[in-house]
Amino acid sequence: MKMKQNFRGLTLLKRSQQPYPTSPAEARLEVFPNPQPRRDYTIRFDCPEFTAMCPVTGQPDFGKIVIEYVPHKSCIESKSLKLHLFSYRSRGAFAETIVNEVLDAVVQACRPRRATVTGDFAARGGIAIRVTASHPAR
C-alpha cells in the first residue's frame, strides 16, 4: 500500500553525508505534517550523549537533553534535531541558556501545543545541574 505524504521540506534526511552545523543559529529544525493533528499525543526525544562547551573555561560539559512536546500541525524530524543539538559542541553556553534555546527552537519550528525541554548536566565541581523550561510557561 503506497501512502501519499508531503515530505518535500525534508532535505537533511535524504542525505547520506551531512556537514555538521557549527552553531545552533546555523542549524535548522525541519518538520513534517502531523499525521494526527486532531489528537493530543506526546513525542519524546532522549538525547543521552549531549555535549556542549563551558563558555568560561572551554571545557566540555556532558549531559542528557529530553524534549517532550504535543504537536499541533507539524512534527520535528529527528535527524535535523540531532544536527541542531550537535552544533552546541563548538559553542560555549551555560546549561540554562542551552535548555531555553532548544525550547525556543522547538517552538519556532513546529508551534507545538505544549513542550518541555529538560537538561540533566553531569556534575562539575561536585554539583550536577538540571534545567527545565516549558511552553507555554507554567
For residue 105, the domain's CATH number is 3.30.1130.10
46, 47, 61, 120: which one is catalytic? Answer: 61
- In a 3-state reduction of DSSP, which class is residue 110? helix
- Is residue 82 within 8 A of residue 62, CB to CB? The reply is no
Note whether residue 80 is domain-resident: yes
In a domain, 15, yes or no: no
120 is catalytic: no
- The pLDDT tens digits for 6-65 are 676 776 666 666 677 777 888 889 999 999 999 999 999 999 999 999 999 988 999 999
- 40 catalytic per annotation: no
Residue 128 lies in a domain: yes
**Higher-confidence residue: 17 or 78?**
78
The answer to whether residues 28 and 80 touch, using CB atoms and an 8 Å cutoff, is: yes
Residue 70: which domain range? 31-135
Number of structural domains (the chain) is 1
Q: Does residue 51 lie in a domain region?
A: yes
Which entry of 40, 47, 54, 120 is annotated as an active-site residue? 54
Is there a contact between 12 and 20 (Cβ–Cβ < 8 Å)?
no
pTM (2 decimals)?
0.85
